[in-house]
Amino acid sequence: MNLNDIKKVACVGVGTIGASWATLYLWKGFNVAVQDVNVEALESARRLISSNFKFLEEKGLLSSESRKKAEGNATYTVNLKEALTGAQFIQESAFESYEVKQNIVREMDEYAPEAIYATSTSGLLVSEIQKMSKYPGRCITAHPFNPPHLLPLVELVKGKETSEETVLLCYDFYKSINKEPIIINKEIPGHVASRIQMALWRECADLVMNGVCSVKDVDAACCYGPGLRWALMGPHLVWDLSNPKGIAATIEHIGPQMNVWLPDMANWEKLPDGVGELMAEGLKEETAGTTPGELKAWRDDKLVEILKQVGKL
Ligand SMILES: NC(=O)c1ccc[n+]([C@@H]2O[C@H](COP(=O)([O-])OP(=O)(O)OC[C@H]3O[C@@H](n4cnc5c(N)ncnc54)[C@H](O)[C@@H]3O)[C@@H](O)[C@H]2O)c1
């Protein structure tokens, strides 16, 4: 299959992530089968997709005419066969369960034997899912960051039997819709970005628990310092620019300090009891006088501006 052959995308399972993927594919001009086993979930996806489009139109990211056309390219169904038939690309975002996902690839063998199967799974191994398919080479993990219609990252994880052709096609496909795919060569728990997020959070929470600073201040340390640069370049490129001789010189320069900090940093292997409640208590200071709705609206508003600046919208 070639990139240009992809005309119809089936979004299978349209809760939080699937509805957002469906918004993206409709926005990018595909015919999209929006499918869920649950009628209420399907109706809720319809509302979510409509409110996502309202937001995109309000932000000037598409005209009302294009919105109407895009939304008109969706078909809603609870019938998997109907959704899969004629689709070249399946973005599966059903429940996080091997049984559920393995059943979907079995059905795909029958109704869409040539289509790509891309699972959004955050934690399952595509190797285990593809075992149930007669065509395992076309199965891959394509893990987004929420919400996928806005955030560009897509982690492509190869299973044991994923073909190189599938990896390359998916890479080109996501690039063609202005996403930023990365290729993960080995299946590991949590893929890559969630592990990075977790490593940072472990240190942040540990600093709070040790009384070094408040939740509000540790959040400020992330977003008003390194976070602003990280929206533009990753930690390696940042360090490469920190020394005229590049990253190796930066690491050599700060190496003696790093060797003092590292043994003092958080290394917990399981969550400390009560850590969630403790962070929630600390967060009250940061959120005082606002509502979650106001904070989300502010975040999405600014996110759109940043994405525009980095050419991702
Ligand atoms: N929530 C996140 O932040 C996030 C981020 C990245 C990836 N993911 C992954 O995306 C997938 C979906 O997560 P979510 O948070 O959207 O879950 P969700 O519970 O909001 O949605 C799952 C949907 O799948 C439907 N479903 C269940 N079985 C089905 C089947 N056999 N066929 C079709 N639909 C079926 C459910 O009715 C539900 O609407 C998971 O694999 C998850 O790991 C989630």
CB-CB contact of 92 with 13 (8 Å) = yes
Residues 12 and 32 in one domain: yes
Residues 63 and 93 in one domain: yes
CB-CB contact of 21 with 148 (8 Å) = yes
Domain boundaries, position 125: 3-184
- Whether cis (ω within 30° of 0) applies to the bond prior to 152 is no
Alpha carbon nearest to ligand 1 atom 34, residue: 13
CATH number at residue 198: 1.10.1040.10
Residues 153 and 231 in one domain: no
Residues 170 and 215 in one domain: no
Residues 216 and 297 in one domain: yes
Residues 154 and 9 in one domain: yes
Query: pLDDT tens string for the chain (313 positions)?
Result: 999 999 999 999 999 999 999 999 999 999 999 999 999 999 999 999 999 999 999 999 999 999 999 999 999 999 999 999 999 999 999 999 999 999 999 999 999 999 999 999 999 999 999 999 999 999 999 999 999 999 999 999 999 999 999 999 999 999 999 999 999 999 999 999 999 999 999 999 999 999 999 999 999 999 999 999 999 999 999 999 999 999 999 999 999 999 999 999 999 999 999 999 999 999 999 999 999 999 999 999 999 999 999 999 9
- Using the mean position of ligand 1's atoms as its centre, give its distance from the Cα of residue 30 in Å: 21
Residues 221 and 288 in one domain: yes
Minimum-distance ligand 1 atom for the alpha carbon of 17: 16
Q: Which of 184, 205, 223 is the last residue of a domain?
A: 184
Residues 84 and 107 in one domain: yes
- Using the mean position of ligand 1's atoms as its centre, give its distance from the Cα of residue 205 in Å: 28
Overall domain count for the chain: 2
Residues 133 and 210 in one domain: no
Pocket of ligand 1 (CB under 6 A): 12-18, 35-38, 41, 93-96, 100, 104, 120-123, 143-144, 146
- Using the mean position of ligand 1's atoms as its centre, give its distance from the Cα of residue 300 in Å: 22
Q: Which of 162, 184, 206 is the last residue of a domain?
A: 184
Residues 74 and 220 in one domain: no
54-60, long-range: CB < 8 A, 24+ apart = 55/300, 56/23, 56/27, 56/149, 59/301, 59/304
- Using the mean position of ligand 1's atoms as its centre, give its distance from the Cα of residue 119 in Å: 10
Residues 11 and 138 in one domain: yes
CATH number at residue 178: 3.40.50.720
Burial track 150-182 (b if 16+ CB lie within 10 A, e otherwise): bbbbbbbbbbebbbeebbebbbebbeeeebebe
**Residue 65: burial class (beta carbons within 10 Å; 0-12, 13-18, 19+):** exposed
Alpha carbon nearest to ligand 1 atom 18, residue: 15
